[in-house]
Amino acid sequence: MKKKRNKKYNPTLKYQQISRIVAKDYMILDITAIDVFVYYKGSEIKPKSFEARMLNEVRYKWQIMAGVICRDQLKREYLKTDTFITANEYFTSELSDYLVEFQADLWETANPLHRLTQFWLATPNETEITEQVVMKMINSKKGFNNFMTGYEYQQSKATF
């Protein structure tokens, strides 16, 4: 009987190692009821097949900024956010399920008259995510213009 050969080269493991190095410049923005967007070095991209595979088929420890998009009665737009790093590694497809309770808690703590919708921004590295950068991303997707706040809804009902 032949002795089993131990492989030193594992292509899957090598792919995961390379992906972890390359993926550090990517961010995924999910705005509830709008869409999911991918950014590379701060610019929005339409992911090519290798980028989609890299982001979807490899588990990462994600740094996540989750929050609620809000607008007050004076039309000032702001975010109620929290940033954290996941304790375990997750696929991109698992992030929405992972964040359900967390986002529900954030939604409840935001002013009910100011709430528009929820969002999360995830990156597989530990870079500083500023609210100004996120606001710019959300504004470019019309995240503040597609929804009415509770206050605006009450005002529109009162005028009819």
pLDDT at 160 over 70: no
Residue 100: inside a domain: yes
Give the length of the chain: 160
Residue 13: inside a domain: no
* Residue 15, C-beta contacts closer than 8 angstroms, at least 6 positions apart: 58
Residue 90: inside a domain: yes
Residue 17: inside a domain: no
pLDDT for 19 equals 85
pLDDT for 156 equals 85
Residue 12: inside a domain: no
Give the model confidence (pLDDT) of 58-92 as tens digits: 999 999 999 999 999 999 999 999 999 999 999 99
* Residue 154, C-beta contacts closer than 8 angstroms, at least 6 positions apart: 113
d(CA 48, CA 92): 16
* Whether the Cβ atoms of residue 121 and residue 109 lie closer than 8 Å to each other: no
pLDDT for 73 equals 92
Tokens describing residue 120 = 């999360």
How many C-beta neighbours within 10 Å does residue 21 have? 9
Residue 99: inside a domain: yes
Give the model confidence (pLDDT) of 30-61 as tens digits: 999 999 999 999 899 999 998 999 999 999 99
Task: Find the mean pLDDT for residues 137-151.
Answer: 89
Residue 41: inside a domain: no
Indicate if the alpha-carbon torsion angle 143, 109, 91, 97 is positive or negative: negative
Residue 91: inside a domain: yes
Tokens describing residue 130 = 């500023």
pLDDT for 158 equals 78
Q: Helix axis angle, 49-56 relative to 92-109, nearest 10°? A: 70
pLDDT for 117 equals 95
Pairing relationship of beta strands 26-31 and 115-123 according to DSSP bridges: antiparallel
Which domain, by its residues, includes 134?
A: 62-160
Domains identified in the chain, total number? 1
pLDDT for 128 equals 84
